[in-house]
Amino acid sequence: MTYHLLLKTGQAELRAWKNLSDARKSEVSVHVELTRGRKRRNKDKSAPAEYDLDKILKCIVDDFQSCAECTVDITRETSLASADTEALSSPVNGYQSWVEKLKKIKGENSNIKPTLLINPTGQETYEEYKSAIFSQFDALTDHFDLITYRAAVIHDASFLEDIEMLADKINAYIESGNRFRVLLDFEYVQPSTSTLHASYAVPIVRRLNEMIPSVEIVSVGTSFPKIITEIGDEDSDTFALEEVRLNAELNRLQNIPIAYGDYGSINPIRSDVSPPVGPYLRPHVDFTTSDGRVLYYRIKPDVGPATKTLRSPRIRLYKQAASLIVNDSRFSAIPDSWGYDKIIEASRSLPEGSSPDFWISVRMEIHICRQLDRFRQETSDAPSKL
């Protein structure tokens, strides 16, 4: 069993990844979603924003060598896109820009695998549309032994038409010893909706399997909300990892194996595109427990009514939240986890980070460790086939 991680290339996510141990990285199949990256500094504030995609691509080359696989994709979130990501996904000349970029980075990191992009302009005929996708697929098959198709299951009921159109090519590709994967992306999975999601997806899975009998199918999603109090209490609470339940439900309702993947506890709408944090922000520290729930503590800041500024630094609020987590009976040790160590450190001395971004990295690294440990446990519990 391999754990699949959908990773957006934000600062918090990349920090979490960099701090994951090499031993753990080797067990993860990463689906990297190229996002716009950080804004380039420009003294001219009226100039259009420019983002450093090259820096992100360099990071993908350097930091994703030791994972099981590194599939590269482009964001579907408008708020995370840029002129660079748009240019890269252009369907012109059979998605030439995309194919060339993938070949280039594969030359520097042999672990790189492609995502097949579907990005019609809305102006082309069906034949033009089909020809561009076929050209992209053929070019990718020449250089890669695994191709992934990512489908927004809930938003894109028509994605099966693409698979139908490509079925003969995909089956021939697999027969030649290669692999084709479909990532069923459920995005944000609201609490208590795993059954609804799974019931909707089962006929899709069956149809996929009819067209491509050897297709690999992975479900990904996240139950981490945009605002934690949407699903939990103000000061502290726990909530279930609905993405884990969804995958279990998908596998329970039909016989085609669906591999597990998730967003690493990151909401699809990333926090760094939300408005800047003010003094009223309630710092929270989150911890994935050993029984598949997220435990959190939030601390109300003390803001001076006249000055509207924090009366004690935010870093102390994080320390307080970390201490509460550590003293909670649901907190338990995670060997070889940077995030776990950071919570322990913060509870004993001043935390290393005082930004929400830093604590998102902590949460994400812990979440990945927990999923890997769960997989290891389930594998060792499974009865031997011999």
CA nearest to 332, candidates 323, 340, 321, 324: 340
Footprint of another protein on 98-127 (CB under 8 A): 117-120, 122, 124-126
CB 281 within 8 A of CB 301: yes
Q: What's the number of CA atoms in the CB half-sphere (13 Å) around residue 44?
A: 5
With CB under 8 A, what is the number of residues at the site for another protein? Answer: 46
Contact present, 36 and 88 (Cβ < 8 Å): no
Among residue numbers 141 through 160, which ones bind another protein (CB under 8 A)?
Answer: 152-158
Q: CB of residue 313 vs another protein: minimum separation in angstroms?
A: 22
**CB–CB of 339/361 below 8 Å?**
yes
Shortest distance, position 76 Cβ to another protein, whole Å = 5
The binding track of 242-281 with respect to another protein, each residue x by CB under 8 A or -, is ----------------------------------------
Q: Which residues pair with 73 in a beta bridge?
A: 33
Shortest spacing between CB 23 and another protein, in angstroms? 34
- Does position 196 interact with another protein (CB under 8 A)? The reply is yes
Cβ-proximal residues to 227 (8 Å cutoff; 6+ apart), any chain? none
Print the binding letters for residues 328-367 with another protein: x by CB under 8 A, - otherwise: ----------------------------------------
Tell me if 161 contacts another protein by CB under 8 A.
Answer: yes
Distance between CA atoms of residues 92 and 94, nearest Å: 6
Alpha helices in 349-384 (DSSP H): 356-381
| Selected range binding another protein among 2-10, 38-46, 196-204, 353-361, rule: CB under 8 A | 196-204
Q: Which residue do the tokens 């290669």 mark?
A: 178
Binding another protein by CB under 8 A: which of 27, 50, 52, 162? 162
Strand order through the sheet with 284-288: 236-240, 293-298, 284-288
How near is the Cβ of 386 to another protein at its closest, in Å? 40
Buried (b) or exposed (e) across 198-223, using 16+ Cβ within 10 A?
beebbebbeebbeebeebbbbbbbbb
Residue with tokens 């760094």: 272
Query: Which tokens is 245 given?
Result: 């339940």
* Out of 199, 309, 312, 332, the residue judged to bind another protein by CB under 8 A: 199
The residue range among 38-46, 223-231, 257-265, 287-295 that interacts with another protein, by the rule CB under 8 A, is 223-231
Report the nearest approach of another protein to the CB of residue 155 (Å): 4
| Pairwise CA distance, residues 55 & 280, whole Å | 33
Nearest to another protein of 86, 210 (CB atom):
86
CB of 209 vs another protein, minimal distance in Å: 17
- Nearer to another protein among residue 149 and residue 340 (C-beta): 149
| Two structure tokens written together for 22 | 């090499």
* Residue 34 in tokens: 């190229």
Alpha carbons 312 and 301: distance in angstroms, whole number = 8
Consecutive H or E run containing 25: helix 22-25
Cβ–Cβ < 8 Å for 49, 83: no
Pick one of 103, 178, 191, 357: the residue that binds another protein (CB under 8 A). Answer: 191
Task: Scan residues 274-333 and list those touching another protein (CB under 8 A).
Answer: 282
**CB of 168: closest distance to another protein in angstroms?**
15
**Chosen residue from 78, 110, 307, 384 binding another protein by CB under 8 A:** 78
Cα(138)–Cα(385) distance, integer angstroms = 38
- With CB under 8 A as the contact rule, the residue among 62, 145, 168, 230 that binds another protein is 230
Q: Which residues of this protein are in contact with another protein, per CB under 8 A?
A: 74-76, 78, 81, 85-86, 89, 117-120, 122, 124-126, 128-129, 152-158, 161-162, 188, 190-193, 195-197, 199-200, 203, 227, 229-231, 234, 239-240, 282
